[in-house]
A and B are shown apart, each in its own frame.
Chain A
Amino acid sequence: MSKLTGWTSIAVLLLLSFGTLAAVLSRAEGLTAISSDDWRVLRFTLWQASLSAVISVILAIPLARALARRQFRGRGLLITLMGAPFILPVIVAILGLLAIFGRNGLIATITGLPIQIYGLQGILLAHVFFNLPLATRLILQGWLAIPAERFRLAASLGFRPTDIARQIEWPMLRETVPGAFLVIFLICLTSFAVALALGGGPAATTIELAIYQAFRFDFDLGKAAQLAALQFLVCGIAGAVALKLALPQVTSGGLDRAVERWDARNPWLRAQDAAIIALGALFLLTPLTMVILRGAAGAFEMPATVWQAAGRSVFVAIIATTLCMAMALALAFWLNTLNRGRLWVEGISLLAIAASPLVIGTGMFILLFPFVDPTRVVLPITALVNAAMALPFALRALVPAVAQTEAQFGRLADALGMRGFARFRYLYLPRLRRALGFSAGLTAALAMGDLGVIALFSDPTRATLPLEMYRLMESYRLEAAAGAALLLLALSLLAFWIFDKGGRANADA
């Protein structure tokens, strides 16, 4: 049973990754040599991803240190909020950033400076906004993992802050920082919505954006396919490196205690940490505050199409979550029974990270074209692509949970003859509830806010909420866009909250 469903999931994933790539390639009218344009796009993609990762990590180090050694009211809340960008719809964050840093944003209005946000600087700004919190959490984990005894020992030996930095903190950073850098680099490598909204002209185009342009403006499938292959290659290499390095994982618990630091009691360091934390919080919270303030004002300006789009987004989120959970469960159970071939199955289930959502969309378009008008099945395709994209995260939560459940209670269930549905209902479902709730919440929020494959077929009668919002922004209907942003933000957070809560409620350790 687990074998059959497992194979089905693998087949779906292979079809989505390689099948669609092959479909695009088959339609391409001959491959051309990689043009200088393509090289420029590739260089820019790598460059912006590297810069984004470097800036995020460099800013995260002092912020994480300040959070690690200070205890203050609202610290827990701030750290929790730092987990939020992951489920924050990209387009919503961009609107918030524009409200602060845009040409008519808060800073430009106050200072009167002509601010140009479009281009590399805008892309970096958005990437740092999304990834600074992630980097901070990863590095904070490193800080809090240092045994408290070591700081006590340092205090009794009379270490000064520089001694502590050299003897205790620097070795920890050397271990955590490369992993954090790589995770952020990978995330920024496939960035699409940020580049679409903030990238400017040929000088600031990522591979993913170039695929979109090739498909949508030139309908040049050959070029799209070529770029897609390039994207696959780059992400494949980066992904392989990442697998080797064993990426760090953000855990949800255990960040709520600060380490007692005798060396950091002097007023100067205190003021420094306070300033860093205040700046960090300001940078992360003001854009969201703007979304909420302007959204509340714009809520009454929203055309009816926004509500229809919201309905479609909810539909996409529900389908994507169902599909993702079904595939994740099938694969997790199957993986648990495998010895040989385990790496292959795991690798294939991670393929979606390397595959480009836009290529998948294009490929599905080509594959479905002979049978059905692809624009009619845009929403199911979007849901399927989102399910595949969220799958690696779901597996990260579910595979260990299944293995642990089996190790702890497998023999007992065997001895009692719990098989099939009874085993699923009374053993797995209750034990996996937390992991299921959390990953379903992630999937639903990601699918709700995704502006990717749907942008390819921007048929106004089938737009999802993020696309509808982007359209309103493009046509400068900013009040309506702000209202839509608030609605989208609320829906994404609500989707995550409902599932995650459902997994936690009444769950016993």
Chain B
Amino acid sequence: MLTLEGLRIDLGDFHLGADLTVAKGHSIAVMGPSGAGKSTLFNAIAGFLQPSAGRILWNGADITTRTPADRPIALLFQDNNLFPHLTAFQNVALGLRPDLHLTPAHKDQVMQALDKVGLRGFEDRKPGALSGGQQSRVALARVMLQAKPLILLDEPFAALGPALKAEMLDLVKQTARDNNATLLMITHDPKDAERIADQIIVVADGQANPPAPAAKVLAHPPAALRDYLGL
């Protein structure tokens, strides 16, 4: 269970507040206008940004001051999710051992993860020699191995075509289910939300609102979201 307790983020003129709880095992879409602070919220949860007030709790334990790597979080950014100088195998293996000191058992795990995302045989390729969809799969294979209970996705599939994106979202959903993980995903597309999320957090007007059932939000979007979606 993720709790944002009186969280407040101040970046110059920009302010964002959040006071909400995400229950375990849910898949949540984070939606809102551009510049509303969706990525900023993720940066604070992931530990790249220190909030000016409030606490972040995971299952009741305060993780506000922990380093990004010490948090129970696996995340994917919009881009630069893979190191271009490392092979697909190495990129995935970083999820197990950040220093790449791998035992034979580790290597098996990496190969299994690559197998699961349909990339067996591609392990020696570097990202430059993979298609956009394959690159996303490599990143997802790493998220699988990290086996963290909270997965944050900051629109990592935005550059993919509709069919490929749908495929990736299904893979994400599968991964979250297998890992028994909670999923938070920023998206601009209501279809993405429908496909994968059971709840929606609306970020607008300097506030991240508590999650509400996805069907309800999409059927009756609040004003800020309605304007943004053009409904």
A residues lining the B interface (CB < 8 Å): 408-409, 411-419, 421-423, 425-427, 430-431, 433, 507-509
Contact = CB atoms under 8 A, between A and B. Distances in A.
A430 B48 CA distance: 24
A416 B94 contact: yes
Q: How large is the interface on B (under 10, 10 to 19, 20 to 34, 35 or more residues)?
A: 20 to 34
Contact of B83 (A415, A426, A507): A426
B165 interface: no
B69 A426 contact: no
B157 to A, nearest CB: 17
A509 B84 contact: yes
Contacts of A414: 47-48, 67-69
Nearest to A420: B99
Interface in B59-102: 67-70, 73-75, 77, 80-81, 83-86, 90, 94-95, 98-100
Contact of B85 (A413, A418, A419, A431): A431
B80 A412 contact: yes
A431 B73 CA distance: 26
A110 B85 CA distance: 57
A422 B101 CA distance: 9
B84 A426 contact: no
B98 A417 contact: yes
Contacts of B68: 411, 414-415, 417
Interface string B128-143: 1000000000000000
A412 B47 CA distance: 12
Nearest to A414: B68
B126 interface: yes
Contacts of A426: 83, 86, 90, 94, 99-100
A79 B98 CA distance: 44
A422 B48 contact: no
B99 A508 contact: no
B116 to A, nearest CB: 19
Contacts of B69: 414-419
A426 B85 CA distance: 8
Contacts of B46: 411, 415
Contacts of A409: 80, 83
B67 A427 contact: no
A415 B126 CA distance: 21
Given A411-B68, A509-B128, A416 B86 contact: no
Given A414-B67, A414-B68, A507 B98 contact: no
Query: From DSSP, what is the main secondary structure of chain A's interface residues?
Result: helix
Contacts of B98: 413, 416-419, 422-423
Contacts of A411: 46, 48, 68, 77
Nearest to B43: A411
Contact of B100 (A412, A419, A422): A422
Contacts of B94: 416, 418, 426
Nearest to A506: B85
A509 B85 CA distance: 8
B94 to A, nearest CB: 5
B84 A416 contact: no
Contacts of A408: 80
8 contacts: A411-B77, A415-B46, A416-B94, A417-B68, A422-B98, A423-B98, A426-B86, A509-B128
Nearest to B75: A415
Contacts of B48: 411, 414
A414 B68 CA distance: 6
Nearest to A433: B85
A433 B83 CA distance: 14
A433 B84 CA distance: 13
Contacts of A430: 83, 85-86
A418 B99 contact: yes
Contacts of A433: 85
A508 B80 contact: no
Contacts of B84: 508-509
A414 B83 CA distance: 13
**CB-CB nearest 9 A-B residue pairs:** A417-B69, A430-B85, A422-B99, A418-B98, A414-B68, A417-B98, A415-B68, A508-B84, A408-B80
Contacts of B95: 416
Contacts of B86: 426, 430
A413 B142 CA distance: 13
Contact of A415 (B73, B100, B127): B73
Contacts of B128: 508-509
A68 to B, nearest CB: 33
Given A508-B126, A509-B128, A421 B99 contact: yes
Contacts of A418: 69, 94, 98-99
Given A417-B98, A426-B83, A426-B90, A412 B77 contact: yes
B219 to A, nearest CB: 35
- Which of A425, A426, A509 is the most central at the interface, judged by chain B CB atoms within 10 Å of its CB? A426
A507 B85 CA distance: 7
Contacts of A508: 84-85, 126-128
A47 to B, nearest CB: 50
A343 to B, nearest CB: 23
A426 B89 CA distance: 13
Contacts of B70: 417
A416 B46 CA distance: 11
Nearest to B79: A408
Nearest to B148: A415
Given A416-B69, A426-B83, A426-B90, 10 more contacts: A412-B83, A413-B98, A415-B73, A416-B98, A416-B146, A417-B67, A418-B99, A422-B99, A425-B99, A433-B85
Nearest to A419: B98
Contacts of A425: 99
- Which of B80, B81, B94 is the most central at the interface, judged by chain A CB atoms within 10 Å of its CB? B94
Contacts of A413: 98
Contacts of A509: 84, 128
A157 B8 CA distance: 59
A417 B99 CA distance: 9
Contacts of A423: 98
A269 B204 CA distance: 64
- Which of B80, B95, B126, B146 is the most central at the interface, judged by chain A CB atoms within 10 Å of its CB? B80
Contacts of B74: 415
A507 B126 CA distance: 11
A412 B69 CA distance: 10
